Chain A
Amino acid sequence: MRFLLPHLIDAAAERSPDQEAFRFNGTGVPYAALASQSNRLAGVLRTLGVAPGDRVGLYLPKGLEAAVAVYGILKAGAAYVPLDPKLPAARLHAVLNDCGLRHVVTTDALRSRLDGLAATTPLRHLVGPTDHAEAAVPSISWSDVEAAPDRGWSAAGLTGHDLAYIMYTSGSTGLPKGIVHTHASSLSYATLAADVYGLRADDRLSGFPPLHFDQSIFDYMSGPSVGATTVIISEGHMMMPASLSQLMADERLTVWYSVPYALVQLLLRGALDQRDLSSLRWVLFGGEVFPPKHLRALMLQWPQARFSNVYGPAEVNQCTFHHMDTPPADDAVLPIGPIWPNAEGLVLGPDEAVLPPGEAGELVVRTPTMMQGYWNRPALNDRAFYHRPRAGGRTDLFYRTGDLVRQDEAGTYWFLGRQDRQIKARGYRIELDEVEAALLAHAAVAEAAVYAVPGPNGGHQVQAALLLHPGPAPTPREILAHAAQNLPAFALPARLDIIDQFPRTSTGKIDRRALRARAVTTT
Chain B
Amino acid sequence: MTVAERIATYIANELLGDPTTTVAADENLLLSGRLDSIGVISLVAFIESDLGVTVPPEDVIIDHFISIEAMVAYLAQREDAAPHA
Partner-B contacts on A (CB < 8 A): 61, 85-86, 109, 234-243, 246, 265, 268-271, 274, 477, 480-481, 489
- Knowing that A239-B40, A242-B59, A243-B63 are A-B contacts, what are 8 other residue pairs whose CB atoms are under 8 Å apart, sorted by A's residue number? A86-B33, A236-B30, A239-B30, A239-B39, A240-B60, A242-B57, A271-B58, A480-B17
| Binding site secondary structure of chain A | helix
Assess A242 versus B37: contact at CB under 8 Å? Given A236-B30, A236-B31, A477-B17.
Answer: no
B-side contacts of A238, CB under 8 Å: 37
Tell me if B36 counts as interface (CB < 8 A to partner A): yes
List which B64-83 residues lie within 8 A (CB) of chain A: 65-66
Give complex CA distance A243, B61 in Å.
Answer: 5
Give the interface size class of chain B: 20 to 34
Give complex CA distance A109, B17 in Å.
Answer: 23
B-side contacts of A270, CB under 8 Å: 57
Give complex CA distance A51, B17 in Å.
Answer: 44
Q: In the complex, how many angstroms separate the beta carbon of B15 from the nearest chain A beta carbon?
A: 11
Tell me if B18 counts as interface (CB < 8 A to partner A): yes
Q: Evaluate contact between A61 and B31: CB separation under 8 angstroms.
A: yes
Give complex CA distance A299, B18 in Å.
Answer: 41
List which B17-75 residues lie within 8 A (CB) of chain A: 17-18, 30-31, 33, 35-37, 39-41, 56-63, 65-66
B-side contacts of A235, CB under 8 Å: 30-31, 33
B-side contacts of A234, CB under 8 Å: 30
Q: Nearest residue in B to A274 (C-beta to C-beta)?
A: B58
Q: Evaluate contact between B61 and A240: CB separation under 8 angstroms.
A: yes
Q: Evaluate contact between A239 and B36: CB separation under 8 angstroms.
A: yes
Q: Evaluate contact between A242 and B58: CB separation under 8 angstroms.
A: yes
Q: In the complex, how many angstroms separate the beta carbon of B41 from the nearest chain A beta carbon?
A: 8
Q: Evaluate contact between A237 and B37: CB separation under 8 angstroms.
A: no
A-side contacts of B17, CB under 8 Å: 477, 480-481
Q: In the complex, how many angstroms separate the beta carbon of A251 from the nearest chain B beta carbon?
A: 15
Q: In the complex, how many angstroms separate the beta carbon of B44 from the nearest chain A beta carbon?
A: 9
Give complex CA distance A265, B36 in Å.
Answer: 13
**Which of A236, A240, A481, A489 is within 8 Å of B18, CB to CB?**
A481
Would you mind naming 27 contact pairs between A and B with Cβ atoms under 8 Å apart?
A: A109-B31, A234-B30, A235-B30, A235-B33, A236-B62, A239-B30, A239-B35, A239-B37, A239-B39, A240-B30, A240-B60, A240-B62, A241-B60, A242-B58, A243-B61, A243-B62, A246-B61, A269-B41, A269-B60, A271-B56, A271-B58, A274-B58, A477-B17, A480-B17, A481-B17, A481-B18, A489-B36
Q: In the complex, how many angstroms separate the beta carbon of A262 from the nearest chain B beta carbon?
A: 9
**Nearest 5 CB-CB pairings of A with B:** A236-B30, A271-B58, A269-B57, A243-B61, A239-B37
A-side contacts of B57, CB under 8 Å: 241-242, 268-271
A-side contacts of B40, CB under 8 Å: 239-240
Give complex CA distance A477, B30 in Å.
Answer: 23
